[in-house]
């Protein structure tokens, strides 16, 4: 798995004919009527979303910390819209799909702690729409999401979380050549039998390579390792989630939830955000700083990987 391949692919898509071919071939594979004309209709918006996503992400990466969340959030939403246009040529199908898809508390209490905060999941909007059509995740049973849980779904934060909380949200997996060996204790964390845990792996398209061990094939691209198997760009190691209740959340979804809430805080909770950055610096401070450093690198990688997977799949189908 090489990150530079995804970066090269996103550069390749800057050419209009390459992007147009991706849209048309993808629409044809999805059996969308009038695939050629729909791709011509959407090419300008698709390229604009990618261009704006890259620009906001680049500005956010170099911006002062106090404004990073807003720029990175805008960058991510544009990347998400580009990926949605690849799967849903009529996006947005309704004005309701243009909303954030999440809602947060309007005012933070004096003893507010970010990791204990929650956001409510809306029935309509970008978050549930993206979750359904790009991440292939069903949110019908999820009403709210906590920041602590979302931080635990970012593999690059695991070492810091372990130091602060003395708690593992994921367990590292050993990789040998093209095989990932999962810890034998994992089924116990899920309260699953070995057989049921193997069924879980199969449900997430993780291919077992052994009948007597929990060994799976190494994914070809990073999009395939974004939950419940995760890939950390920091230690270049695979990790597996320990909490069964969070298998319905893709890593991209966790990034969006965190960026949404942080962008709302720095826009509308100015006093708390200033105190957080310059005065109190509570224990969440290093986690949030590390997350913001990570997400500006990880989001283009994840979304680009998704598009690259679609490119590979359409080539195989022809």
Residue range 200-229: average pLDDT?
A: 89
Give the global pTM.
0.95
pLDDT at residue 1 greater than cutoff 60: no
pLDDT tens string 151-161: 999 999 999 99
Tokens of 215: 């060994």
Confidence class for position 58, pLDDT limits 50, 70, 90: very high
pLDDT at 138: 84
pLDDT at 49: 98
Tokens of 127: 């978050």
pLDDT tens string 272-288: 899 888 888 888 899 99
Judge residue 119's burial from the number of C-beta atoms within 10 Å of its C-beta, 0-12 exposed, 13-18 middle, 19 or more buried: buried
pLDDT at 75: 98
End-to-end alpha-carbon separation of the chain, Å?
Answer: 24
Strand, helix or coil for residue 40: helix
pLDDT at 63: 96
pLDDT at 4: 64
pLDDT at 106: 67
**What does the domain layout of the chain look like in residue ranges?**
3-155+250-317, 170-242
Share the mean pLDDT of the chain. 92
Long-range Cβ contacts of 205-208 (<8 Å, 24+ apart) = none
pLDDT at residue 11 greater than cutoff 80: yes
pLDDT tens string 177-193: 889 999 888 898 888 98
Residue range 197-218: average pLDDT?
A: 88
pLDDT at 2: 55
Judge residue 184's burial from the number of C-beta atoms within 10 Å of its C-beta, 0-12 exposed, 13-18 middle, 19 or more buried: exposed
pLDDT at 142: 86
More confident residue, 46 or 198: 46
């Amino acid at each position: 798995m090489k990150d530079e391949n995804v970066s090269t692919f996103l550069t390749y898509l800057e050419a209009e004919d390459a992007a147009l071919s991706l849209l048309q071939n993808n629409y044809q594979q999805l059996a969308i009527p009038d695939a050629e004309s729909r791709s011509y209709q959407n090419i300008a918006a698709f390229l604009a979303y990618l261009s704006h996503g890259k620009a906001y992400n680049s500005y956010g990466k170099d911006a002062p910390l106090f404004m990073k969340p807003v720029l990175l959030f805008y960058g991510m939403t544009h990347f998400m819209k580009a990926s949605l246009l690849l799967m849903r040529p009529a996006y947005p199908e309704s004005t309701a799909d243009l909303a954030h898809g999440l809602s947060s508390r309007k005012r933070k209490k004096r003893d507010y702690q970010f990791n204990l905060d929650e956001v409510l999941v809306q029935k309509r909007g970008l978050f549930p729409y993206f979750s359904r059509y790009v991440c292939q995740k069903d949110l019908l049973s999820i009403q709210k999401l906590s920041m602590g849980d979302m931080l635990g779904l970012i593999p690059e934060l695991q070492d810091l979380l372990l130091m602060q909380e003395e708690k593992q949200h994921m367990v590292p997996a050993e990789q040998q050549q093209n095989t990932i060996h999962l810890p034998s204790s994992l089924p116990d964390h899920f309260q699953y039998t070995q057989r049921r845990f193997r069924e879980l792996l199969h449900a997430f398209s993780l291919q077992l390579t052994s009948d007597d061990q929990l060994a799976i094939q190494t994914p070809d691209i990073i999009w395939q390792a974004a939950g419940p198997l995760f890939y950390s760009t920091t230690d270049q190691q695979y990790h597996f989630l320990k909490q069964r209740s969070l298998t319905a959340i893709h890593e991209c979804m966790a990034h969006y939830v965190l960026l949404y809430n942080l962008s709302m805080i720095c826009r509308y909770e100015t006093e708390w955000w200033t105190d957080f950055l310059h005065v109190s610096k509570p224990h969440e401070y290093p986690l949030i700083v590390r997350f913001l450093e990570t997400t500006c690198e990880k989001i283009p990688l994840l979304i680009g990987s998704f598009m690259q997977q679609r490119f590979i799949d359409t080539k195989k189908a022809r």
